[in-house]
Amino acid sequence: MPKPSSCFVCQSCGSVHGKWAGRCDSCGEWNALVEEVTSHNEKPAHKRKKGRSLDFIDLGGESKAVPRLKTGIAELDRVTGGGLVPGSAILVGGDPGIGKSTLLLQATGKLAAAGFKTAYISGEESTGQVRRRAKRLGMSHTPVSLAAETSLGPIIDGLMAEKPDVVIIDSIQTLWTDQLGAAPGTVAQVRACSQELTRFAKKRGCCVILVGHVTKDGQIAGPRVVEHMVDAVLYFEGDRAHQFRILRAHKNRFGPTDEIGVFEMRETGLSEVPNPSALFLDGRGEASSGAAVFAGLEGTRPVLTEIQALVAPAAFGTPRRAVVGWDSGRLAMVLAVLEARCGVSFAGKDVYLNVAGGLRINEPAADLAVAAAIASSAFDMPLPPDTVIFGEISLSGDVRPVGRAAARLKEAAKLGFKQAISAQPTKSSTKNDNTILPIIAMKALPDLISRVEASSEHGLNADSAWGNANKAA
């Protein structure tokens, strides 16, 4: 029998080291290396016994449609690509208290009520705590199989006897297997338990959903290889100070990766938000400087959000640049274009940018709305309140058109907006876009800034200033 050897694994990034060190060379984390015992039981390839050979097929054959299990929660089904796939493994991450357990418990209750066999295994809470939450959610009488266990062996044995269609493991960091001597929550235990549960899902044809903790950087804790094992990785985002919760897919083998699901946290649990634009714009008051409405896209869904900017004199020597809900590097680029191409100086001024409602915007189409909000605050001139803005800004100052402009304009028209500020539409879409909403076309960013500056100098209100400019155009 070969002698077991040991290695040192970083508990932060999962990198393997030959000897112990105080600092991980891969991620820079201190005191994160833990010794793990390994054994080399696998024989080399040339010494293995020959078994059955691998069967190959061509790409031209027909494949069956992927079956789906509808959860009864439309927003969750949207993110997963139409429902849960039997035999798949899903990893759900999010901040503590954001609502992961609540959402999954609601989903299991709806699946059980629809006739599917579901199992909820909690490693962090007792059965009494889960029952109290179910009572608060109005799910006390749903036929969900509930258990509290952290040892992987009894969990696998129980699932093989129960034969459920959907399994919830809350959470993967609490599980441990006696095949390893490491403590629960370590890289070795998380990797081994995730691999065994994923293998069980593929072999038995049930859907296994794993709940994962997140680090202080917002990433799912544990080795990165766990995200490669599973079929889908979902992040539950949001601020506990807001009632909005956003479920976003970062990986999905059976659906898109750019869809989001929007929920609202209430006393009775998470409720779906079928029209997130109306929710994010709820509470907008009269027109004020530094506010612009951005018509964005999240997957196939158009979403309207308010972008808020504030330009103020710097209280200290170095001006601040604070961003919430957008990329700080993108903000630096927009400010540089405003200074170099439009002559707007931000020397000695703090710039604060915020996306209202706790939404995180990733697409470059928000460049023009951000620039408009910053210019509106810098010149203390409100933008027209019935106008949406979208467009990408290049380093030369040109405003470029973005994709699916018609869907953005339709959503804006549905919510009562009267016009849009965007790039010059292409010839193929000009006719269709103008019939939805009139567009104030911007060829370059200086065109937008000059109108805001002229409105401020002449003391016009937002409606008359942009209305006259639109007629003149």
Looking at the fold, whether 333 and 366 belong to one and the same domain comes out as yes
Looking at the fold, whether 452 and 342 belong to one and the same domain comes out as yes
pLDDT tens readout for residues 145-192: 999 999 999 999 999 999 999 999 998 989 999 888 778 888 888 889
Looking at the fold, whether 208 and 346 belong to one and the same domain comes out as no
**Rounded to an integer, what distance in angstroms lies between the CA atom of residue 14 and that of residue 29?**
11
CA distances to 107, 160, 167 from 142, rounded to whole Å, are 11, 22, 15
Looking at the fold, whether 263 and 300 belong to one and the same domain comes out as no
Q: Which residues, 6 or more positions from 97, have their beta carbon under 8 angstroms from its beta carbon?
A: 240
Query: Whose structure tokens read 């439009």?
Result: 342
Range of the domain at 193: 74-274
411 Rama class: left (phi>0) / alpha (psi -120 to 50) / beta: alpha
Looking at the fold, whether 230 and 266 belong to one and the same domain comes out as yes
Q: Are 46 and 13 in contact (CB under 8 A)?
A: no
Q: Which residues, 6 or more positions from 425, have their beta carbon under 8 angstroms from its beta carbon?
A: 401, 405, 433, 434, 439, 441
One-letter amino acid identity for 462?
A
First-to-last CA distance in the chain? 85
pTM summary value: 0.78
pLDDT reported for residue 469? 41
pLDDT tens readout for residues 247-288: 999 899 998 888 889 998 888 889 998 888 887 887 776 778
Q: Residue 39 CB: number of other CB atoms within 10 A? A: 10
**How is residue 362 written in tokens?**
């990733």
Query: Whose structure tokens read 């999905």?
Result: 252
pLDDT tens readout for residues 4-33: 677 888 877 778 888 888 898 888 888 888
Looking at the fold, whether 238 and 291 belong to one and the same domain comes out as no
Looking at the fold, whether 286 and 193 belong to one and the same domain comes out as no
Looking at the fold, whether 183 and 318 belong to one and the same domain comes out as no
Domain-embedded: residue 60: no
Query: What torsion, rounded to 10 degrees, do the Cα atoms 380, 383, 384, 388 define?
Result: -170
DSSP 66: P
**pLDDT average, residue stretch 55-59:** 84
Length of the chain equals 473
Q: If pLDDT is split at 50, 70 and 90, which confidence band does 471 have?
A: very low
